[in-house]
Amino acid sequence: MKDLEPWEWNEQTWRQKVDKVRAGKSLVPKSWPGKARVAVALSFDSDHETNELRDGGESIGRLSWGQYGTRKGIPRIKSALDKHDIKATFFVPAVSALLHPEEQVMLSREGHEIGIHGWIHELNSVLPYEDERDLMFRSTDTLEKITGTRPVGLRTPSWDFSPNTLKIERELGLLYDSSLMADDDCYELLEEGEPTGIIELPVEWVRDDAVYFNMHRFQALRPYTPPEAVFDIFRREFDRAYEENGLFLLTMHPHVIGYRSRIGILEQLIEHIKGHDDVWFATHSEVAEHVKATCLD
């Protein structure tokens, strides 16, 4: 039988698609720890060389760009965080962690969180269930072996979420996901209408450095944005989160934000945030634990 066109689907068909993974209960706590008015969760996706490897690429130039992330990006990020004693979350593909184990050990020892970010930054939505499951379990084991701590959260590479991803997260017993965008604040993920207890810490392209800066030499991708404009967008996102007593979650990449002309965005943003009273800087797992304990029965 030929596949039906979307406009020929019956109601059950389109409802099933929408209900596969859905935002459930909104999880906005009455207050954050220390009576803070806002939770600030900074994350860095340490893709490094895997952005090139995952497509089967072997461009020496693009691999060197990935290496910049570990050589220059991570040290600059670390110094910005250390200056204000802020702990952040680093989502690391297993291959990136195997290439740079000392980086993960150092970050983990200093109190930062290391989260799952796929095996080689593969796209989950093109994988059969068995392969996606195998890679996710191996990635989790690999990070645990390197850092000594078993990760509790996943950010899917490129925020690419397959129809099986949530099921695998449940099998892994994860505390949270940070790949979806149904809200500004935390929510519980539903799988086919059923509450899962897994906390979503939502991301958004608007709060991601890569969309403003990335370019590709051989594609028409040239979205360079002035650093002040990016700072302004991030600042506005924070200011409103503060007004709403919500969550401000920002995604950055060592090989994107780490440049001399850009690291100032992060430094200025931290200073802007620190200029407010009652701010709670936390790792993603700390945010997830807090909302789970206070908002989920």
The whole-angstrom separation of Cα 46 and Cα 207 is 16
Shortest approach of Zn ion to residue 92 CB, angstroms? 9
Is residue 45 part of the contact set for Zn ion (CB under 5 A)?
yes
Is residue 191 part of the contact set for Zn ion (CB under 5 A)?
no
Q: Which of 47, 103, 188, 208 binds Zn ion (CB under 5 A)?
A: 47
- Helix ranges restricted to H, the chain: 11-19, 50-53, 60-68, 74-83, 94-99, 101-109, 129-147, 165-172, 209-213, 227-243, 254-257, 263-274, 284-295
Beta carbon nearer to Zn ion, 47 or 52: 47
Beta carbon nearer to Zn ion, 45 or 237: 45
Beta carbon nearer to Zn ion, 4 or 215: 215
Beta carbon nearer to Zn ion, 47 or 209: 47
Q: How many residues belong to the site for Zn ion (CB under 5 A)?
A: 2
Shortest approach of Zn ion to residue 53 CB, angstroms? 12
Shortest approach of Zn ion to residue 141 CB, angstroms? 20
Shortest approach of Zn ion to residue 208 CB, angstroms? 10
* The one segment of 41-49, 176-184, 222-230, 289-297 that binds Zn ion by CB under 5 A: 41-49
Shortest approach of Zn ion to residue 51 CB, angstroms? 7
* Assigned token pair, 60: 């020496």
Is residue 208 part of the contact set for Zn ion (CB under 5 A)?
no
Beta carbon nearer to Zn ion, 45 or 188: 45
* The one segment of 15-23, 46-54, 76-84, 207-215 that binds Zn ion by CB under 5 A: 46-54
Beta carbon nearer to Zn ion, 52 or 169: 52
Is the four-CA dihedral 39, 40, 46, 52 of positive or negative sign?
Answer: positive
Long-range contacts of 130-137 (CB under 8 A, 24+ apart): 132/162, 132/164, 132/165, 132/168, 133/164, 133/168, 133/171, 136/168, 136/169, 136/172, 137/172
Task: Tell me the one-letter amino acid at 196.
Answer: T
Check residue 2 and report its DSSP letter. P
**Quick one: which of 28, 19, 12, 27 has its CA closest to 190?**
19
The whole-angstrom separation of Cα 201 and Cα 187 is 7
Under the rule (CB under 5 A), what is the footprint of Zn ion? Answer: 45, 47
